[in-house]
Amino acid sequence: MHGLSFDYVQSKRGKVSLILLFFFSADNFRPYLTSFQGNSFTDYINAVFVDGYTKPREYIVTEWPIKSTCGEFWSLVYDYECSAVVILCVPPNNSQQFPPFWPEGRASKKYGPVFTIDHISHNHYPNIKTWVFRINKKIVSLTELMAGVKAPPKTVQLFQLTCWPMGHRVPTSTNSLVELMNMVERWRQRTDYGPVCVVSPDGRSRCGIYCAANACIEQVIQHGEVDVFQAVRTVRRHRPQLIENITEYKYCYDVVLHYVLHYLQTDLDEMKNKNKS
């Protein structure tokens, strides 16, 4: 069923079958939570894997968690060993719809029955904020306790772009978005290159731009050419709502052009120097 085209299913089966196909496909590519947090918890989280330019499942796209799902969010990051969390929005202060899901101060904070997040460090730059956290997991499954299962702490860096106001289709600073992408890449080079968890208010808008533009930039670095159409097509394969309007599609070109004009030569020079040493 996954191999059938949308046109075929729509013409032969009607609208209902098209909807079923979409959800079937999306379910195939969603991450299942594996950390046991209690009998009232399931393995579900509203998230989907997105392929990168060369690496499958390089990104995990998800929505801003609500208060009751913050534990599930940290389970996602822990279970899939995400090296970075990228947040592409700044909700209003004291928002009930978008509650904070990481420690705002230096004190540790617990999310759900299993995960405690420790603040290690933070840095604030123009239009970008970063935090390094330690994720601690408590084993609560009797079976795992009896089997002596260990849950080692894991480190993640959270990057928040602060120049993308709610309600805006694109950020107010393209340079800041490209700089954030570079910061994430440098962090991943220092770690184990785990997936990047990309967060937006609804898990659809904004995330596609980040994933597609990153894939294009990687293609430019490796091959000196770019295919934005193919990058967008790849991103939309698992969640068709990613890049869902012409403004986001055009902005992918703007991001790649900005990178080529202002960052590419520096990055190529750094790669040459690394290879020499």
Concatenating the DSSP letter of every residue in 70-114 gives HHHHHHHHHHTT-SEEEE---PPTT-SSS---S-SSSS-EEETTT
Both tokens of 265, joined, read 């030569």
3-state secondary structure of 50: strand
Q: Residue 61's beta-bridge partner residues?
A: 48, 198
Q: What is the pLDDT of residue 87?
A: 98
The CATH number, out of the four listed (2.60.40.420, 3.20.20.70, 3.40.50.720, 3.90.190.10), of the domain defined by the range 25-203: 3.90.190.10
pLDDT digits (tens, 9 = 90+) for 40-91: 999 999 999 999 999 999 999 999 999 999 999 999 999 999 999 999 999 9
What are the boundaries of each domain within the chain?
A: 25-203
pTM of the model: 0.88
Residue 268 scores a pLDDT above 50: yes
Residues above pLDDT 70, as percent of the chain = 90
pLDDT digits (tens, 9 = 90+) for 125-178: 999 999 999 999 999 888 888 888 889 999 999 999 999 999 999 999 999 999
Q: What is the pLDDT of residue 171?
A: 96
Of 190, 94, 172, 179, nearest to 130 by C-alpha is 179
Name the amino acid, one letter, at 131.
W
Contact between 189 and 84 (Cβ < 8 Å): no
